[in-house]
Structure 1
Amino acid sequence: MFKIGDYVRFIDEKREGYITKIIDAASVGVTDEDGFEIPVAISNLTYVHGHHSNADTANNAAPLTKKADEAFVGDGVYLAVAEDSKASVVAHFTLVNRSSYQLLATLKTEKGSTFKGDFAGIIQPKSSVQIYTANLGDLDNWPSFTFQILFFSSGNVAPKKPLELQKRFKSKDFSGAKNQVAEINKYGWLIRLDEAPLVIDAQKLKESFFSVKEEKPKVAKPASEADLHIEKLRDDHHFLSQSEILEIQLKKFQEILDAAIVHQMSSIVFIHGVGNGTLRNHIHKVVSKHPQVRTFMDARKEKFGYGATEVVFNG
């Protein structure tokens, strides 16, 4: 039985990809390395050997030998979410254990009052296991996640309370910068699962009521059309190299894109010109992966030709 995250090959053509959606009992959605999700009959698919997830071997993982003089680490359980190297719209979820405990973990998802057990296994100390795969472009339709974790150690360590955490992911969870995750050797978003409970200092809370709050700088709402031509951004553009020009244009593009999202604009047009297509391609690459962008297209060809891109945000 195929499931989300399986790597498959089409029987009738030379195409491979990940299953990212279960459409019905007879068909699924397969996302290829170009990021396109294709509906296909299950009968037209076969597994690709050698692409088993780490979750398949979790229960067989060999225990790690801990050095006698190594300090015991009591916390550090994370969920790493990283894009697949072949298909960027495919996101792999990896449970990262940086603690000295052996974890007995389960993941159950729920959508429309239907529950599904997606993972159950053992994660050794200072190791990681891939537990789930989803389509980043379909984030609004993701199920809610329930993580349950037991902490085990054979050493002289006081018992630790089990962890149960319910999580429903939103676009803001993936709007920040990605960081290098050493355990999976990839850039991704790292989410702490065993975060210590917030301790409220009553005295500081009391003092805050009487302190003068500094106003945070407000982000100006951008115009509906943003011109990224370098002569509109810098007076000294004649003295800049092509690489410096591109860097300035991309920085300005990112600032305006972020501001448009902050002000919940429905759409915005970026005027980048035609040129050699480098700036246009960079812009399209960024917005194609952005979780808060619904779609993008060439803007008003009768006015801009192919020199502008309209970006439409999630409503």
Structure 2
Amino acid sequence: MTTQKFKIGDKAAVLDDSFSGVVKSCSNGKVTLETSEGFLLQFDASELIKINNDNDLGSLFKGKSLGAVLREKEEPKKRSFTREKKSRKDDITLEIDLHIEKLVKKKGGMSNYEILTLQSETARRQLDFAIANRIPKVVFIHGVGEGVLKAELEFLFGRYDNIIVSEADYQKYGLGALQVYIKQNPKR
């Protein structure tokens, strides 16, 4: 925006305020206005606009709607960077792979009963650990087979009151996993 040249006696209005006055002096880009109440106020020339008479402010905004003029004068809204605070534990999912190859180095010599017992004991210990440490979600990967381990896990989970058991995410785990949500009691 170019600054206008003001002369003593010109009428001027303040752009960002609701008053006007008569120019009493101007030098070095500073303009002194005398308001109708007799106050002398100094402004930068860029803060003022010449007017022809007291009722001619409307001509300044020809071709613009009132909304457009108000939007020009509005300060931009500051962005809010506050986020909803979530507990880090809400994002934690404990994954337990119960495939026998993941539990022991060598499965040679173990009977099916010993393998199933080790897998179910591991599941019980890990579930107790998750409950004690207030971990809200545990996924037990049992694999796809004859369904013996899955049935054993469902029987084990049936003994707990504070859990909800469902099939785990199919896209991530396929058919071979159960997901356990642990209902948390508030700490007392």
Using the size of structure 1 for normalisation, the TM-score is 0.28
Higher relative contact order (CA 8 A, sep 6+): 2
Based on CA coordinates, which of the two structures has the bigger radius of gyration? 2
Larger helix proportion of the pair: 2
Q: Which has the higher strand share?
A: 1
Task: Tell me the TM-score normalised to structure 2 length.
Answer: 0.47
